[in-house]
Amino acid sequence: MQIRFEKKLEPSRKMLFATPILAVILTMILGAIVFSILGYDGLGAVREIFLTPLTNSLKWQDLAVKAAPLIIIGVGLSIGYRANVWNIGAEGQYIAGGLAATGMALLTHNMSGWYLLPLMGIAGMLGGMAWVFLPALLRTKLKVNEILTSLMLTYVAIQLLNYLIFGPWKSPTSFGQPQTVLFNDWQILPYIIKGTIVQAGAPIAVLIAIMAWLIMSKSVFGFQVRTVGSAPNAARYGGFSENKTIWLVLLISGGLAGLAGMLEVAGPFNRMVPQFPAGYGFTAIIVAFLGRLHPIGVLIAGVVLAITFVGGEVAQTTIGLPNAAVGLFQAMMLFLLLAGDVLVRYNIKIIRARRA
């Protein structure tokens, strides 16, 4: 017996919009079943992870804090994925951006002025871009697959982070803790809502998503990215260079991941610490897909994934769910989404084996 996938001529548009929602609902149902079998309160786990963050207004600010980096990174990745460029090392670019911003902060530690944060932002973006430089070069010059190179560089970034905070950047006043000094007041993101923990990262994320939407739908660059992703030969015929496009989308996704790193280090952390790599770069891959590679979709998907992060923490304390449960839910969501996509785009035919 053989199973064959035949591409549908025109996938249903309704289903393309419906699959992300279906994937989330199915994740809840399957998650409840799986955790019940594992001996936890399955329904409770789903309620705590998916609903409590929404119903409990105290958690809303947590959502904003967690969603911001996911959205910023996810928007960058979705632009690259549109062009068929598969940067999955955003975590490394996020760390590199955070490190570059930290470096800038340490360099300017005894200065003051409004310009310090923009400087750190630029440093963060450049750091993220530096981390895609090698994958972009290898891809465009030698056709080396960027999936592997970008992923592998993530581990290099983690090692670099550890080296720096255990070594040259270690704060002299931290009693041996591997962390940098606290940034000065000019180097910390302002709070935008008084009395909350919501900092400038959240509005920046929304702004970036809207700008990306405009650019992708209205500009020649957005058109170029879509063309290169859909039909490279037609792109070349239309006068678009594939290599230039690869460079641009990698630099954008790297730069945005780096910016997210800067916003994290100058925001919630205020210093560089070993806990800095929180997996945002990997989760943002799910965000990009769940958002259908559309900037506004990514904005929504970023909030959905933030819910699972915040809810995961809730579930840990209330019903003792292990930390890994969140990862499981997220992975299930991506898996179901991709599987749903296959069903929407392909007809599946089962063919009986022909006798030779």
Q: List interacting residues with other proteins (CB under 8 A).
A: 9-10, 218-221, 223, 226-227, 230-231, 233-234, 236-241, 356
Give the residue with the Cβ less far from other proteins, 9 or 350.
Answer: 9
Q: Closest separation between CB of residue 204 and other proteins, Å? A: 22
Q: Is 4 helix (H, G, I), strand (E, B) or coil?
A: strand
Which one, of 182, 274, 206, 191, lies nearest residue 68 by Cα?
A: 206
Distance separating the N- and C-terminal Cα atoms of the chain: 13
Q: How many CA atoms lie within 13 A of 249 on its CB side?
A: 32
Give the residue with the Cβ less far from other proteins, 94 or 247.
Answer: 247
Q: Closest separation between CB of residue 34 and other proteins, Å? A: 37
Q: Closest separation between CB of residue 243 and other proteins, Å? A: 12
Q: Closest separation between CB of residue 341 and other proteins, Å? A: 15
What's the angle, vertex CA 202, arms to CA 329 and CA 67, rounded to 5? Answer: 5
Which one, of 34, 125, 49, 94, lies nearest residue 285 by Cα?
A: 94
Give the residue with the Cβ less far from other proteins, 240 or 289.
Answer: 240
Give the residue with the Cβ less far from other proteins, 8 or 113.
Answer: 8
Q: Closest separation between CB of residue 232 and other proteins, Å? A: 8
Q: Closest separation between CB of residue 226 and other proteins, Å? A: 8
Q: How is residue 187 annotated by DSSP? A: G
Give the residue with the Cβ less far from other proteins, 9 or 58.
Answer: 9
Tokens of 41: 């309160």
Give the residue with the Cβ less far from other proteins, 60 or 221.
Answer: 221
Give the residue with the Cβ less far from other proteins, 140 or 199.
Answer: 140
Residue pointed to by tokens 């898996």: 335
Say how far apart CA 184 and CA 108 lie, in whole Å. Answer: 9
Q: Is 235 helix (H, G, I), strand (E, B) or coil?
A: helix
Is residue 149 within 8 Å of 86, Cβ to Cβ? no
Q: Closest separation between CB of residue 252 and other proteins, Å? A: 15
Tokens of 271: 């210093």
Q: Closest separation between CB of residue 7 and other proteins, Å? A: 11
Give the residue with the Cβ less far from other proteins, 181 or 252.
Answer: 252
Q: Closest separation between CB of residue 222 and other proteins, Å? A: 8
Is residue 38 within 8 Å of 299, Cβ to Cβ? no
CB atoms within 10 A of CB 303: 18
Give the residue with the Cβ less far from other proteins, 170 or 345.
Answer: 345
Tokens of 166: 């255990």
With 0-12 / 13-18 / 19 or more C-beta atoms within 10 angstroms meaning exposed / middle / buried, residue 58 is exposed
Is residue 127 within 8 Å of 300, Cβ to Cβ? no
Which one, of 146, 282, 284, lies nearest residue 209 by Cα?
A: 284
